[in-house]
């Protein structure tokens, strides 16, 4: 991991010893997380009974052990800055913007041994492909710093880790990775995991020079386009919810935990078997960022709602098409969005050089909150658990 002393000193001079963490949220953002959590819904009301505490048969012990090792590598001061309660509001403070306020410990503050243990925790939690995507987003953020000459704003070091709760076999806990174009909220309860909200993107999406060969979001882009192009004219007309692609169409990004978003587009039950297979190939690109065994469990849950899964599209098709798509059901919300430039030069129009994606678990289970609610209710009178 590249770490320039000059960069860190200049950064500290600007924002203080805790990096971006010393800043406050903007009033609009603070108001959003001050709202009681509901979750993404179609009408403001949560559909009950979608999630349950149950045994999955897939151990989370390797994740717990890796998290314990990471926390043990931190100094007492670092651990105090990184540790939060399992149900802390800190979960909801994540932000894609590069200058956002963040808490925890950044990769720039870690030594090599600590960074190695952080990646070991990711390796146990994520799939090999998910870990590769994670590293590529971080590398392209370093590439962006070089392209625009702003190492004090962009770079690999500006990604922060917090750990919520004590890594446990029976009590809820989790970790959060928070940084520019890369956010994972990873919750563990017994042998169940929830990884949402999750945000991934980049500007640029491909590297050059020393970063040649590095790319992100190309499979998500290409498989989404292939699905749209597999639809016949009538199906495409139903999937198309708007014709004009704006600079940014994504709705479920940071500070939209209580988004109300009704279904739009083409429902999967009106697709052919081959089209439904293509639809789930797109979904798999996002879900299989987590450990494959846990992802397979999540995919089965999503497949149970195939008849209530909608595919919506904004933009054009074709080799160089720029577009937005959304996949939504009672248990999954995925958005992919070509964005306009922020750091790079060029026309202020959406392009393939800048991509955002977000994954949500609707109806109250982002951050595993519905599972946490059930856990706390189950043990509300159990003094050994100590839950309020």
For residue range 228-279, what is the model confidence (pLDDT) as tens digits?
A: 999 999 999 999 999 889 999 999 999 999 999 999 999 999 999 999 999 9
User: How far is Cα 104 from Cα 117, in angstroms, rounded to an integer?
Assistant: 15
pLDDT of 121-148, one tens digit each? 999 999 999 999 999 999 999 999 999 9
Q: Residue 10 has what pLDDT?
A: 28
2 by DSSP, 3-state: which?
A: coil
Residue with tokens 């090792």: 69
What is the mean predicted confidence (pLDDT) over 334-343? 97
Beta bridge pairs of residue 206: 215
**Percent of the chain scored above 70 by pLDDT?**
93
Beta bridge partners, 356, equal: 201, 337
Structure tokens at 260: 């109300």
pLDDT exceeds cutoff 50 at 18: no
The answer, yes or no, to whether residue 21 has pLDDT greater than 70, is no
| Phi, psi (degrees; rounded to nearest 5) at 384 | -65, -30
- Predicted local distance difference test score (pLDDT) of residue 6: 29
The reported pTM is 0.93
Dihedral sign computed on CA atoms, order 89, 154, 132, 277: positive
What percentage of the chain's residues is helix, strand, coil (to nearest 5)? 40, 20, 40
Q: Is 343 exposed, middle or buried (0-12, 13-18, 19+ CB in 10 A)?
A: middle
Between the CA of residue 32 and those of 26, 99, 180, what are the distances in Å?
10, 18, 20
pLDDT the model gives residue 5: 30
* Phi then psi dihedrals of residue 338, to 5 deg: -75, 130
Is the CB of residue 204 less than 8 Å from the CB of residue 218? no
Cα angle 178-85-123, degrees, rounded to a multiple of 5? 45
Q: Find all residues with CB under 8 Å of 356, minimum gap 6, and list them.
A: 96, 181, 199, 201, 248, 250, 253, 335, 336, 337, 339
Three-class SS of 240-291:
EEECCCCCCCCCCCCCCCCCECCCCCEEHHHCCHHHHHHHHHHHHHHHCCEC
Q: What percent of the chain has pLDDT over 90?
A: 89
Is 176 in a helix, a strand, or coil?
Answer: strand
Question: Who wins on pLDDT, 84 or 384?
Answer: 84
* Res 12: pLDDT: 29
Q: What is the pLDDT of residue 344?
A: 96
């Amino acid at each position: 991991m590249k770490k320039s002393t000059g960069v860190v000193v200049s950064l500290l001079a600007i924002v203080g010893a805790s990096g971006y963490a010393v800043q406050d949220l903007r009033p609009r953002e603070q108001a959003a997380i001050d709202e009681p959590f509901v979750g993404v819904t179609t009408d403001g009301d949560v559909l009950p009974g979608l999630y349950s505490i149950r045994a999955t048969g897939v151990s989370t012990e390797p994740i717990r052990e890796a998290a314990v090792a990471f926390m043990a590598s931190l100094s007492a001061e670092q651990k105090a800055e990184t540790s939060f309660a399992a149900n802390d509001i800190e979960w909801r403070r994540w932000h894609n913007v590069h200058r956002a306020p963040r808490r925890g410990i950044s990769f720039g503050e870690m030594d090599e041994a600590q960074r190695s243990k952080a990646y070991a925790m990711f390796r146990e939690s994520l799939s090999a492909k998910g870990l590769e995507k994670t590293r590529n987003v971080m590398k392209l953020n370093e590439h962006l710093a070089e392209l625009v000459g702003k190492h004090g704003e962009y770079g690999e070091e500006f990604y922060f880790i917090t750990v919520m709760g004590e890594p446990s076999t029976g009590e809820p806990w989790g970790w959060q990775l928070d940084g520019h174009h890369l956010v994972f909220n990873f919750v563990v309860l017994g042998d169940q995991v929830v990884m949402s909200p999750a945000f991934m993107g980049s500007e640029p999406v491909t590297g050059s020079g020393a970063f040649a060969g590095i790319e992100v979001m190309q499979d998500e882009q290409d498989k989404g386009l292939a699905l749209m192009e597999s639809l016949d004219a009538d199906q495409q007309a139903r999937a198309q919810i708007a014709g004009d692609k704006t600079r940014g169409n994504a709705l479920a990004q940071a500070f939209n935990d209580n988004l109300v978003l009704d279904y739009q587009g083409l429902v999967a039950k009106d697709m052919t078997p081959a089209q439904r297979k293509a639809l789930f190939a797109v979904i798999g690109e996002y879900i299989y960022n987590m450990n494959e065994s846990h992802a397979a469990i999540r995919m089965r849950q999503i497949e149970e709602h195939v008849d209530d899964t909608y595919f919506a599209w904004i933009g054009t098709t074709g080799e160089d098409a720029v577009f937005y798509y959304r996949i939504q059901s009672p248990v999954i919300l995925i958005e992919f969005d070509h964005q306009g430039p922020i750091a790079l030069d060029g026309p202020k129009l959406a392009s393939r050089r800048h991509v955002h994606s977000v994954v949500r678990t609707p109806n109250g289970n982002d951050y595993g909150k519905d599972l946490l609610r059930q856990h706390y209710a189950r043990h509300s009178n159990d003094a050994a658990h100590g839950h309020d």
